[in-house]
Amino acid sequence: MSFFDFSASKTRHYHHGRLRVEGGIIPEAITAYRTYGDPNNPCIVYPTCYGARLDSQETFIGPDKIFNPEKYYIVTFALFSNGESSSPSNTPAPYNGPYFPNVSYQDNIRAQYTVLQHLGVPKIHTVVGFSMGGQQAYHWAVMYPDYVERQSSVDQLERVIITNGPKAALVASKDFENGHYKTQPQHGLRAFGRVYCGWAYGQAWFREKRYLMGGEYPDLENFMRGQWEAGQLLWDANDLVTLFHTWETGDVSVIRDGGNLEKCLSSITARGLIMPCKTDLYFPPEDCETEVSYMPNTAKLVVIPSVWGHMAGNGRNLPDRQFMHEEIMKFFEETSKSEK
């Protein structure tokens, strides 16, 4: 019998009630999630990244994809402030909009852990994530070391300088109104998208004019408008700002080691696969080499050979997706053998 049925994989909501978070409380906090497969199979936790909702996670879920729901029990989680879990855009007054409290990765992981306990998951086989999802994988390994067996991160730790540029373009716009806008601040969101686009792809991607692929866009201007401006206009501006706070305050070493990253990462016992892209402007492989050197007995570095920069990790490009599929399957096989 096959347990793979996307029609049954609808978004569900766990109601936490009153939840204390970094910036105060969320009075009726909700974590949105989806499950795929048989709950008796090994569990893979796959949280969202920045600018992602739960349906985007299905790029990697399927019988012929990286995460096979006929073999694994897959749980995808929506970050707080992504518009599906509790967010500035969907929380009633007086905690709505700019009054929504700041939320940390620790807050997200504790909430996700509560959901997994509700689902009866005894142990996590792997936490895997792209970008902000990768940061969450590190936090899982540090916060619940006895609960997580493996973590696979495609781009991961904090880069505050990257978040400041797009965020400044948004909050300084003439229509953002300090978060008290009555209609979506199009000027700010469009500027945000253009700044974000410049970081998202590697320089080689632009040099090779990959935005002309298939003839969908005749030039760079139309690509930025059709892809990046249009994409950001689907989001609530306060949601984006709150998510950026989670990202830029995401140093995992402050949880228990006072900011000592080497000490923190060296304490991780979960086996790790770290996969930056060779042209990533967010998380360059050189930085990841340093991080993996702090985990010499548990982590492995594999660089994605792509011109797609940071966006290689989200699987939009088929060769990148195939490369990640092969490496993650190899990682699963290697770690399974070492456990026997």
Nearest to 125 by CA among 288, 273, 300: 273
Assess contact for 332 and 340: CB atoms under 8 A: no
Q: What residues form DSSP beta bridges with 61?
A: 67
Single-letter residue type at 136: Q
Query: Which phi and psi angles does 239 have, rounded to 5°?
Result: -60, -45
242's tokens:
């709150």
Q: Could you list the active site residues?
A: 131, 280, 310
Single-letter residue type at 232: Q
Assess contact for 278 and 285: CB atoms under 8 A: yes
